[in-house]
Amino acid sequence: MTASAEFPVPERPDGWLSGDEIAQVRRSMPIVYVDAIPVRVDDSGDVIAVGLLLRVTREGVMSRALISGRVMYHERVRDALVRHIEKDLGPVALPQIPASPQPFTVAEYFPTPGVTAYHDPRQHAVSLAYVVPVLGDCLPQHDAIDLAWLTPEEACAEQVQVEMNGGQGVLLRQAMAHVGRL
Per the CB < 8 A criterion, the answer to whether 110 and 124 are in contact is yes
Longest dimension (CA), the chain: 49
Task: State the virtual CA torsion across 161, 89, 68, 172 in degrees, nearest 10.
Answer: -30
Q: How many residues bind its own copies (CB under 8 A)?
A: 63
Nearer to its own copies, 56 or 92 (CB): 92
Measured in whole angstroms, how far is the alpha carbon of residue 7 from the centre of its chain?
A: 16
Per the CB < 8 A criterion, the answer to whether 172 and 66 are in contact is yes
Which one of residues 19, 58, 60, 100 is an interface residue with its own copies (CB under 8 A)? Answer: 100
Strand partners, 41: 47
Strand partners, 47: 41
Nearer to its own copies, 59 or 158 (CB): 158
Nearest distance in Å: CB 72, its own copies: 7
150 binds its own copies (CB under 8 A): no
Distant-in-sequence, close-in-space partners of 72: CB < 8 Å, separation ≥ 6: 11, 80
8 binds its own copies (CB under 8 A): no
Pairing mode, strands 67-70 and 31-41 = antiparallel
**Contact stretch for its own copies (CB under 8 A) within 51-59, 61-69, 106-114, 143-151:** 106-114
Per the CB < 8 A criterion, the answer to whether 24 and 7 are in contact is no
Nearer to its own copies, 55 or 134 (CB): 134
Residues 11 to 30 in contact with its own copies, rule: CB under 8 A: 13-17, 21, 24-25, 27-30
Which one of residues 3, 54, 72, 150 is an interface residue with its own copies (CB under 8 A)? Answer: 72
Contacts with its own copies, residue ranges (CB under 8 A): 13-17, 21, 24-25, 27-32, 39, 41, 43-47, 71-79, 81-82, 96-106, 108, 110-112, 115-117, 124, 126, 128, 131, 133, 170, 173-174, 177-180, 182
